[in-house]
Amino acid sequence: MLGPNRYGKAETRLVRVHRDGDTHGLVDLNVSVALAGDLTATHQTGDNSGVLPTDTMKNTVYAFAKQHGVGEPEEFALLLARHFVRTQGHLDSARVTVESFAWDRLGPHSFQRRGDHTRTTAVTVTREAVQVVSGVTGLVLMNTTASEFHGFVKDRYTTLPETRDRILATAVDAKWRHLSDEADWGKSFQGALDAMTSAFVNTYSLSLQQTLLSMGTMALTARPEIAEIRLALPNKHHYLVDLSPFGLENENEVFIAGDRPYGLIEGTVTRDDVPPAASEWYL
């Protein structure tokens, strides 16, 4: 028996230059489209009468970029998703996800790619509802002190020493669901990002879990348009180097930056009074 399914065009790379005289604007996106509905016939018999080619989805992305321009990624994703649901009557939903790569202006038509994080968007449009999820991935943060870890469970396999002063570093992967499909998307994104970063900086951490709750709570406090936020925080371990063979004392100064394995802390912070999600949300 065929279960839930979808199909679409993944990772259409789009660069849109907005030319305003000698001053240009630049938008750099990675757009993915997925459609779902009654596609039983094409799975069972190869009947493609209900299948919009994925190549058409790619072409639509480029055509819409020309016809409508590209502003905030949430706006562009909403435009695409609504188009597919409106024009494909046999389908139930369209999901458009966007990765947005930022460029810093160097001159009227010169830019430098920013590499400190990637902005993400996931829009789902059905016949009954619209859901917008924004997010960020790859935001690397570090506190060189103001972090401890002790009082944890110890069994016969525990070798980790307790510490009252450690480096706390992570690469934030966060996504947050909006209460509606209308917002000042740019201001909302920057506000959420600033709130999470401020919480990381200003929380004296006894565990990465404590930091996660602080970051999520501050984002909800700062941005009333956000219903809930999910965070995944890998613990980017830093280990003290043993310098005693060289007659040197390591006073919490020289570290090995560990790659893997790593701890992974995940959690959701939500408001008490928000309606449930219209559909499963993830990035």
Task: Give kind and range of the element (H or E) at residue 12.
Answer: strand 7-20
Alpha carbon distance 262, 2 (integer Å): 37
9 has catalytic annotation: yes
Catalytic residue among 42, 54, 137, 270: 54
> What would the 3-class secondary structure string for 24-52 be?
EEEEEEEEEEEEEECCHHHHHCCCCCCCC
Supply 44's token pair: 């069972």
Supply 58's token pair: 């790619």
Alpha carbon distance 155, 179 (integer Å): 44
Catalytic residue among 9, 117, 178, 236: 9
Catalytic residue among 58, 117, 175, 237: 237
54 has catalytic annotation: yes
237 has catalytic annotation: yes
Alpha carbon distance 104, 74 (integer Å): 20
Pairing label, strands 226-235, 168-178:
antiparallel
Task: Give kind and range of the element (H or E) at residue 185.
Answer: helix 185-202
Catalytic amino acids? 9, 54, 237
